[in-house]
Amino acid sequence: MKLLLCGPPGVGKTTIAHLAAASLGQEAVDTDDLIEKTFGKPPYELYKMYGEEKFRVLEKTTLVKLASLQHGVIALGGGILARPCEGLIIYLQASYATLFERLSRRPKLPAFLDSRQPKNSYIERVACRLPHYEAMADRTIATDSLQPESIVDIIRGCGVE
């Protein structure tokens, strides 16, 4: 079975995908890594070069590769707002304060942020995406007070093997 993790940037999709995949004996796939392998540049640079509309087209062409996977734990990019393929989708949810704190530890902030007001632009973008994450998810896990290993335990409790 494919397990897909969705949610905003900074929620921990990549970390949880790798931990869950190791726990389940499956492959971890990060769509951001897949985009970089396909186009030779990280998503951040592609977004800056081409803008959001063209980036989403590149992203969709990359997502076609996911359909052929039979098993795996897939960390979906934060801008993927519709079910890209079959599988159990888990929405990793966190408060804005938690998300922005986690995001601020990264060497680069997401390309869509306004560098003059990163927190406000992040909240605006994520607020627009939340209904989409909720709509496509089969399950939701609130991650604010959980350690990554606890999140993996909850995922395993969803019947993912």
Task: Using DSSP, state whether 31 is helix, strand or coil.
Answer: helix
| Res. 107: pLDDT tops 80 | no
Please report the beta strands in 7-151, taking only residues with DSSP state E, as ranges in sequence order: 28-30, 72-75, 88-93, 139-142
What integer is the mean pLDDT of 69-94?
91
Q: Mean pLDDT over residues 44-59, rounded?
A: 91
Pairing between β-strand 2-6 and β-strand 28-30 as defined by DSSP bridges: unpaired
Contact 59, 31 (CB under 8 A): yes
- pLDDT value for 111: 65
Average pLDDT over residues 146-150: 96
pLDDT bracket for residue 142 (50, 70, 90): very high
Report whether pLDDT(85) > 90: no
Confidence category of residue 161, pLDDT binned at 50, 70, 90: low
| Cβ pair 84, 76 in contact under 8 A | yes
SS (H, E, C) 114-143: CCCCHHHHHHHHHHHHHHHHHHHCCEEEEC
Residue 56 reports pLDDT greater than 70? yes
pLDDT, position 128: 92
- What's the token pair of residue 45? 């640079």
Query: Is residue 135's pLDDT more than 90?
Result: yes
Average pLDDT on 83-101 reads: 91
Give pLDDT, residue 39: 94
